[in-house]
Structure 1
Amino acid sequence: MAAPHLPVLLKPLLRAVAPVRGTWLDGTFGAGGYARGLLDAGADQVIGLDRDPSVFAMAKAWAGDYGERLRLVEGTFSQLDALAGAPLDGVVLDLGVSSMQLDQAERGFSFLRDGPLDMRMGGDVPSAAELLNSAEQDQIADVLYHYGEERAARRIAKAIVAARPLTRTSELAEIVAGCLPRPKPGQSHPATRSFQAIRIWVNDEFGQLVAALSAAERALKPGGQLAVVSFHSLEDRIVKRFMQARADAGGGGNRYAPVQQTQEPAFTLPFRRAVGPDPDELDENPRARSALLRVAVRTEAPAGSIDARALAMPRLPGKERG
């Protein structure tokens, strides 16, 4: 049975980490596209990890074909080292929301499909509606600005508070669209940045990402590979800075954080730049247009630590949830 969606940058990823062998962990299992690709390319075993329990029910139709080579585990990828249970030969992370989740109106991720204003990927956390209906106007504005880079954040936050209580994605999309100019042909939907920001807030995606990168460093064997696919600049910036910082023996610091104590580099970087989609993939899967792949290879150095400030992780002013 074919996977229900196309995994982005799968072929470049498999080329970048070839030959695929040993035990890999797919930290964002979703529809299973990366896990299947790794298994078919020669991985001895893949641990499919996801915080969304519904994905495992959908995988039942094909997961049995791989027998014990595929092990499915519910949990967040920030805990991947503990959940793996043993050192790994590779970790792959596909960040953000999947097209499968966007297509499920009842999950509340999409501004194109009316559904309950939820946006939870899994776990016992407040829904988007609960947060938007209870948060202060300034906090909502900060979320939209820092997590979505939305310039009209204050105007949108004021409109959200005036319209409360909100329960449906269509209500939120209409409010955001009413605060912004009508998009020109070819431009994204006016609610794109706001929905992205609120989803990140609900799921603590940036905090989870930083923790997952450090967990991968702890979990990988010497020579093990970390491959991360990101879809927007804020995610990619965190991944890029993490890999650069942990591959740099100098620990030189930057304007976001002071110079750190020198640590032996935990990774080497086999590629100078991120890998993007080729024209054939763009024709086949337009969702890939903003995707970037970064790869790092684990050294024999002990796992270290990194100050999240050095990664320029967007942070909300004052105390934030999670």
Structure 2
Amino acid sequence: MGANSGGGITEAGGGPVRHIPVLLREVIEALEPQPGKIILDGTFGAGGYTSALLAAGADVIALDRDPTAIAAGQALVAQSGGHLHLIQSEFSRLADHAPAAGLDGVVLDIGVSSMQIDEAERGFSFQKNGPLDMRMSGQGVSAADVVNRAKVGDLIRIFGFLGEEKQAGRIARAIEKRRASELFTTTRDLANFIESVNPRKAKDKIHPATRVFQALRIFVNDELGELAQALFAAERALKPGGRLVVVTFHSLEDRIVKQFFSDRSGKASGSRHLPMVEAKPAIFETLGKSMIAASDEEAEANPRARSAKLRAGVRTEAAARTADLSIFDLPDLASLAKMGA
């Protein structure tokens, strides 16, 4: 994922938005950067959080799967005097890049970068016509592959769950019928087609294609799976007292983060109908409020902050547990590999 940007549902197919790091003050307060600390920014993006961490004296390991972000960040690397290491990598692999002694902090901003949205050739936005791509790394299956090759049942599940699109069935079946005679290749073509199938109502604040574009982006980049694996990786990589800070922008992401911290809190679980499940050692302790939202002032100044939620925890001395994806109850969606590249 791109980073330090936001990217809630209202921006899923939106136009250019100036880069503004979301919840920057709250993120820095939670991480407490200072000289001698090593903090990993798993979603470098345009470097908003990384720049603030460096300014506070911390050493930063920054990751981004997007080669464009890595290239653009080289100037900051040069200016850092050796305090910034910028690596092209999925943040699910962040533990591979952590020092043996562990990290003092990890920050993840789970949102599509404004840089990606602004570049028509990346295919993230339908405000500018471009190829139907959406791949953050530039590799693997594209959005066009999914739209043109996925079974209609898979499209319904993708649009319905990842995009929370109420008209998923109607849109998917219409896509199946249209692609039989003409494949989808551009963002504008798909967006216009969806609007013809599901016309915008007067009360609608967003374009009818917005949720489908969000779903395709999340699916193509396996954003929910990447987030889940990144949380487990942070658990392994943080030293006792280290801090994990995650900023999300819609309910699917926030639910995963909330479930993770709840599962790792060490509290016993059960119900009055079932035996109590024995409590396990706490791996994270909640840092401050369980959830922090953007202030009214920030939301007014930066529309992308309106849906942002911050959750944070402090790593205890308990041993890391097995990475068990079942705690997130993620749906069984179609396999990217079966769709071809």
TM-score normalised over the length of structure 2: 0.86
Matched with 2:61 is 47
Alignment gaps of 5+ in structure 2: 6-17
Shift of 1:320: 3.0
Q: Structure 1 residue aligned with 2:187, among 169, 174, 198? A: 169
Contact 1:148-1:197 at 8 Å conserved across structures: yes
Shift of 1:13: 1.1
Matched with 1:79 is 93
Shift of 1:186: 6.4
| Mapped partners of 1:129, 1:260: distance in 2 | 46
Alignment gaps of 5+ in structure 1: none
Helix, strand or coil at the partner of 2:81: helix
Deviations 1:98-118 (A, max 9, x none): 111111111001122211000
Q: Structure 2 residue aligned with 1:273, among 280, 290, 300? A: 290
Instruction: Count how many residue pairs are aligned between Structure 1 and Structure 2.
Output: 313
Contact 2:236-2:320 at 8 Å conserved across structures: yes
Contact 2:33-2:53 at 8 Å conserved across structures: no
| Mapped partners of 1:216, 1:122: distance in 2 | 21
Shift of 1:64: 1.2
| Mapped partners of 1:176, 1:41: distance in 2 | 47
Deviations 1:158-189 (A, max 9, x none): 12122221100001111222222414356122
Percent sequence identity over aligned pairs: 49
Shift in CA distance, 16/184, structure 1 to aligned 2, threshold 3 Å = farther
Helix, strand or coil at the partner of 1:125: coil
Please show how residues 200-279 of structure 1 align to structure 2 within 5 Å: 200-250=218-268, 252=269, 262-279=279-296
Helix, strand or coil at the partner of 2:289: coil
Matched with 1:13 is 27
| Mapped partners of 1:260, 1:97: distance in 2 | 38
Contact 1:243-1:296 at 8 Å conserved across structures: yes
Shift in CA distance, 253/29, structure 1 to aligned 2, threshold 3 Å = farther
Contact 2:290-2:312 at 8 Å conserved across structures: no
Shift of 1:97: 0.9
The answer to whether 1:95 aligns with 2:110 is yes
Shift in CA distance, 260/315, structure 1 to aligned 2, threshold 3 Å = farther
| Mapped partners of 1:307, 1:56: distance in 2 | 31
Helix, strand or coil at the partner of 1:290: coil
Shift of 1:217: 0.2
- Aligned-residue RMSD, C-alpha: 2.1
Matched with 2:215 is 197
Matched with 1:119 is 134
